[in-house]
Amino acid sequence: MADTSSFRNGLIMRIEGQLFAIVEFQHVKPGKGGAFVRTKLRRIPDGAVLDRTFRAGEKIEEVRVERHTFQYLYRSDDLYYMMNTETYEQIPLSSGLIEDILPFLKEGMEIGVLMDGDIPLAAEMPTFVTLEVAETEPGLRGDTAQGGSKPAKLETGAVVTVPLFIEIGDRLRIDTRTGRYIERVK
């Protein structure tokens, strides 16, 4: 058993027999009354998101999970097939379980999958990924005095804001936590 002081993003807990992962949380200390923690939780495995408030210090059942490295193989309908890089076992993950990482996921990429025994609970991307620009408008020299930006569509379909000098075919480092352009990769 743990309490609200151990909350962190990604923490897996069991509430009323169902598993939830913390998407975000905020400790609140109002002028009157007791402190509380406002959370946004994602239900596992269907991915439904709900808001829940906990009293400060309230006990919760934390679920111990193992992290395994899986390689994304292919998609079939609403399922994404992954292969464990140690055992070569293949498992399907529903789009609801991995919706946060879908914009940056491409075939052959390795991701972390949190497992409760044989049950996949959540998927994690590496913090940074390198993806190629598939579509973007040409940047015009002298367009701005400050150096402007433009949208670029990546090979996975995600759209990010990039500097004007980025062209189709450039490889970019993207921060998967924020979805922001970091740098151009040679």
In the chain, % of residues over pLDDT 90? 44
User: Stretch 17-29: mean pLDDT, rounded?
Assistant: 88
Contacts of 115 (CB under 8 A, 6+ apart): 65, 66, 67, 68, 121
Q: Which domains does the chain have, with CATH numbers?
A: 2-62 (2.30.30.30), 66-124 (2.40.50.140), 129-185 (2.40.50.140)
**156 by DSSP, 3-state: which?**
coil
pLDDT higher than 80, residue 44: no
Specify the pLDDT at position 144: 55
Label residues 9-31 b or e (16+ Cβ within 10 Å = b). eebbbeeeeebbbbeebeeeeee
Residue 136's H or E segment, with its range, is: strand 128-136
Query: Tokens for 29?
Result: 């200390």
pLDDT in tens, 104-154: 999 999 999 988 888 887 788 898 999 999 999 887 665 555 668 899 999
